[in-house]
A and B are shown apart, each in its own frame.
Chain A
Amino acid sequence: MIPEISHLLTILAAGLFLFSFLVILSSNALRSTDSIIRLSLNCFNAATIFLICAFILYVYLAVMDDFSVKYIAMHSNSDLPIFYKISSIWSSHEGSMFLWILFLSLWLWLFVNRLDTQSNLFRYVIFFSAMVLLFFLLFLLVTSSPFERILPLAPINGGDINPVLQDPALVIHPPMLYLGYVGFAVPFVYICAYLADGEFRQGWETIIQKWSLYAWAFLTLGIGLGSWWAYYELGWGGYWFWDPVENVALMPWLAATAFTHSIHASTKSGVLKSWTLFLGLSVFILSLFGAFIVRSGIIDSVHSFANDPQRGLTLLLITGVIALISFGLFSFRSIKIVNSRLVVSGSKESFLSLNNILMITSIFSVFLGVIYPLITQYFYSTKVSIGPPYYNTIFAPLIFIAACFIALSVESKWQRKWKLTETLSKLSIPILISCFLTFIVQSLHQYSVSLIQMIGLFSGIFIISIYAFKLLMNSVNREFINWSSAVSHLGFGLLLFSIAGNSIFSYEKNLKLNVNEEYITEELEISFDDLSLKDESNHQRIIAQINMKIHEKIISFSPEKRKYFTRGQVTSETDIEATFLRDIYINIGEQLDDGSWTFRVQFNYLIKWIWFSVLLMILGILIRSRAIV
């Protein structure tokens, strides 16, 4: 019964969104009155509440192990702890789409109810919000219903959640990421409304700025958590793989970063308005594009859901319609948008506008990397894969230019031409410091650091030293400092520094060892002491006991392999010894024919610093959002 109630509530929500949408559509002809707008707002609110109730009921079903629901039977299991039962809801396509839509409606609901109902834009905001929600609810109900049941004979137990996903990170990584993706629906609907209204009043940027910053924080946190999860739990041995799904998350992130900068310029000095509008639309469209790529299964990736071309086609259609409506509005209406000022060359605005171009370039490069394998596969019938070399080569120069822009824009002023000599004199110390430090690292490493790594290292140190210098000046003679910009850019500089440092200093050893065998070099000794088998409730564990002697310190590791009975899947559990500077990371591989085992031992530097830098960037954005009323 409860599954049907949940299903019914979702259908009713879709109906109410439709109604709310139609009311506005007809009110344009009838000359809108307050009561009509109020009616559609009430429908919108009721629909959201229905959707929330439907989701709560669904969570209840998952917790109570109702295996008559096909989706729950396939992805949950009565042996799971309660938080995995809940998170199993978003462990596959249908349920995660449900969560995605729930978040979408929550963001829009909060936003709509904070807006002034008297404002002219209000009805357009409701119109576009209801439209987007209606599309995705229909998609959920028609092509990917999580409410289907197995009746009359329900299975006694479920098929279990994929072991790879049995991890605390699953509980939090997808929800954060989705909150970020759909959070950009708020600026999206507002910009659509603004363009549709066509009166172009001033001050629209401030209304959506704060929302965009929060969405950016969620998106960044979501991507960071995914990276953290891949490194610590999944045993992939790294934090970023240029996997197609990572790339389609990176594109909205880059667009969102450009958008938050551009909207800052628009609010502060009334320039770059078309840019801001365009970027605001692009972030959400790119998020939808990402959902399409992941859920259609046209690209092989570790994240892909089951391949279903029909679903992919529907999602493509929805994304396409939304993109064409919004970009259509943009291309026909934005001609009338007038910036209140012109951009003075050499001013802060001019560097921010160059930053927009730079970001678009990087988005396009990533996009090309994503679709190029498809082009060769379907037009030339050859399979190619585009990996880290492509992206590293593309991104190194872009990042170098970005670092220069950051440097110049920090030293430049709003609406005024820069003074070349003054700027250069201020930047000379950071430039000298970063050249010097890069050279030190190069010589420490016997001149084997590649150009790309040097660029990364230099850019990172350059950005850090600029802001360190600023902070110093602030504490010495109270010189003005923009804290949010300083903190988030310090985070960005540190991110570049740690990524470059990680790729320069890290190394790995692949060993082949028998039990009781040792591997000895000058600086370390590794001994494989024991191998044991353990049976657990739903899996078998093979645990290796390894001792490592490094710098006169003995560390013991116990990496393991797990074989899950229900799905026959094998996972490896890495053992990591993490210190401030370096992680030692041991992964157990395959058993060879002669009975020995392979091990991968990695020495990863500055990994912790990467997570820390991501948190710094988020902190900077939160400081900024507090300053906006």
Chain B
Amino acid sequence: MKSKIRYIFLLVPILIIVFFAYVISQSQNEASQPLNLELPEFQLQTLDDKTLSEKDISSGTYLINVWASWCITCRVEHPFLIDLKDKGVPIIGLNYKDNKDDAINWLKNFKSPYEISIHDFYGTLALDLGVTGAPETYLLKDGIIVRRHIGELNIEKWRQDFEEFF
């Protein structure tokens, strides 16, 4: 083999690695999504049989946390949400496609981190919000959704994207 050709065997892998490293770094930027969306209109029952609409939470800063009793990751996330509640962060639960009795029992068993929990049995509000699954967390500031996080919320994500608002 000619001595210069041999560098191709190193150059090609290096180019491929650099390319994919770039792609990954780009997709990482995409994952943290600063948003600027208006909270969609809704009127839904809560788990304690009150009615809640978008107007009731149109001022102030809240976390909206999508959860369900069938969701195991929500169990994992639960202790952290309790920590946040103890710190005084107001969290609104969006109980997603769940049996009402199961949901109430779940909150009784594990202690509720939520100020109030909307019972979105048919997933209508979740659909308008663009929920991909549970758990998912939105940050609502004066009626505008400014942050969104898909999956388990943990201390790192919290510090990185959410803490500054509280």
Chain A residues contacting B35 (CB-CB under 8 Å) are none
Residues facing A in B44-100 (CB within 8 A) are 70-73, 75-76, 97
A150/B75 in contact, CB under 8 A: yes
B27 proximal to A (CB < 8 A): yes
A158/B31 in contact, CB under 8 A: no
B13/A335 in contact, CB under 8 A: no
B23/A298 in contact, CB under 8 A: yes
Contact of A378 among B7, B17, B23 (CB under 8 A): B23
Write the B23-34 contact mask toward A (1 if CB under 8 angstroms, else 0).
111111001000
Q: How far is the CA of A378 from the CA of B30 in the complex (A)?
A: 11
Q: How far is the CA of A70 from the CA of B28 in the complex (A)?
A: 25
Contact of B72 among A73, A371, A374, A565 (CB under 8 A): A73
Contact of A150 among B14, B22, B76 (CB under 8 A): B76
Residues facing B in A52-76 (CB within 8 A) are 70, 73-74
B6/A332 in contact, CB under 8 A: yes
Could you say which of A321-329, A345-353, A427-435, A520-528 contacts chain B? A321-329
A307/B20 in contact, CB under 8 A: no
A159 proximal to B (CB < 8 A): yes
- A159 with B24: in contact, given A153-B110, A335-B3, A335-B6 (CB under 8 Å)? no
Size category of the B interface is 20 to 34
B13/A324 in contact, CB under 8 A: yes
Q: How far is the CA of A70 from the CA of B70 in the complex (A)?
A: 15
A566 proximal to B (CB < 8 A): yes
User: Separation in Å of the A297 CB from the closest CB of chain B?
Assistant: 8
B73/A313 in contact, CB under 8 A: no
Q: Which residue of B lies closest to A281 (CB)?
A: B9
- A312 with B24: in contact, given A70-B76, A320-B13, A327-B13 (CB under 8 Å)? yes
- A327 with B9: in contact, given A309-B27, A309-B28, A312-B24 (CB under 8 Å)? yes
Q: Which residue of B lies closest to A311 (CB)?
A: B24
Q: How far is the CA of A328 from the CA of B7 in the complex (A)?
A: 8
Chain B residues contacting A274 (CB-CB under 8 Å) are 1
B166 proximal to A (CB < 8 A): no
Task: Count A/B pairs, Cβ under 8 Å.
Answer: 72
Q: Which residue of B lies closest to A379 (CB)?
A: B22
B7/A323 in contact, CB under 8 A: no
Chain B residues contacting A87 (CB-CB under 8 Å) are none
A316/B21 in contact, CB under 8 A: yes
Chain A residues contacting B97 (CB-CB under 8 Å) are 568
B23/A313 in contact, CB under 8 A: no
Write the A292-332 contact mask toward B (1 if CB under 8 angstroms, else 0).
10001010000000110100110010011001100110111
Chain B residues contacting A566 (CB-CB under 8 Å) are 70
Chain B residues contacting A335 (CB-CB under 8 Å) are 1, 3, 6
Size category of the A interface is 35 or more
Q: How far is the CA of A292 from the CA of B19 in the complex (A)?
A: 13
Q: How far is the CA of A324 from the CA of B16 in the complex (A)?
A: 11
User: Separation in Å of the A599 CB from the closest CB of chain B?
Assistant: 27
Chain B residues contacting A331 (CB-CB under 8 Å) are 6-10
B10/A328 in contact, CB under 8 A: yes
B23/A307 in contact, CB under 8 A: no
B76/A298 in contact, CB under 8 A: no
User: Separation in Å of the B65 CB from the closest CB of chain A?
Assistant: 18
Q: How far is the CA of A150 from the CA of B152 in the complex (A)?
A: 14
Chain A residues contacting B72 (CB-CB under 8 Å) are 73-74, 155, 158-159
Q: How far is the CA of A296 from the CA of B10 in the complex (A)?
A: 23
A567 proximal to B (CB < 8 A): yes
B75/A155 in contact, CB under 8 A: yes
Contact of B17 among A73, A320, A334 (CB under 8 A): A320
Q: How far is the CA of A529 from the CA of B97 in the complex (A)?
A: 33
A313/B6 in contact, CB under 8 A: no
Q: How far is the CA of A77 from the CA of B88 in the complex (A)?
A: 36
User: Separation in Å of the A55 CB from the closest CB of chain B?
Assistant: 23
Chain B residues contacting A309 (CB-CB under 8 Å) are 24-25, 27-28, 31
- A298 with B24: in contact, given A74-B72, A324-B14 (CB under 8 Å)? yes
Q: How far is the CA of A309 from the CA of B22 in the complex (A)?
A: 11
Chain B residues contacting A158 (CB-CB under 8 Å) are 72
Q: Which residue of B lies closest to A274 (CB)?
A: B1
Chain A residues contacting B73 (CB-CB under 8 Å) are 74
Residue among B7, B24, B73 having the largest count of chain A Cβ atoms under 10 Å: B24
Chain A residues contacting B70 (CB-CB under 8 Å) are 159, 565-567
Chain B residues contacting A323 (CB-CB under 8 Å) are 13, 17
Contact of B9 among A159, A319, A330 (CB under 8 A): A330
Q: How far is the CA of A312 from the CA of B25 in the complex (A)?
A: 10
- Supply 19 further A-B pairs (C-beta < 8 A) apart from A323-B17, A334-B1: A150-B76, A155-B72, A155-B75, A159-B70, A159-B71, A278-B9, A285-B13, A292-B20, A296-B24, A298-B27, A306-B151, A307-B27, A309-B24, A316-B20, A327-B9, A328-B9, A331-B7, A331-B8, A378-B26
10 inter-chain pairs at a CB distance below 8 angstroms, sorted by A residue, are: A74-B72, A150-B75, A285-B13, A298-B24, A307-B31, A309-B25, A309-B27, A316-B17, A320-B17, A331-B6
Interface residues of B (CB under 8 A from A): 1, 3, 6-10, 13-14, 17, 19-28, 31, 70-73, 75-76, 97, 110, 151
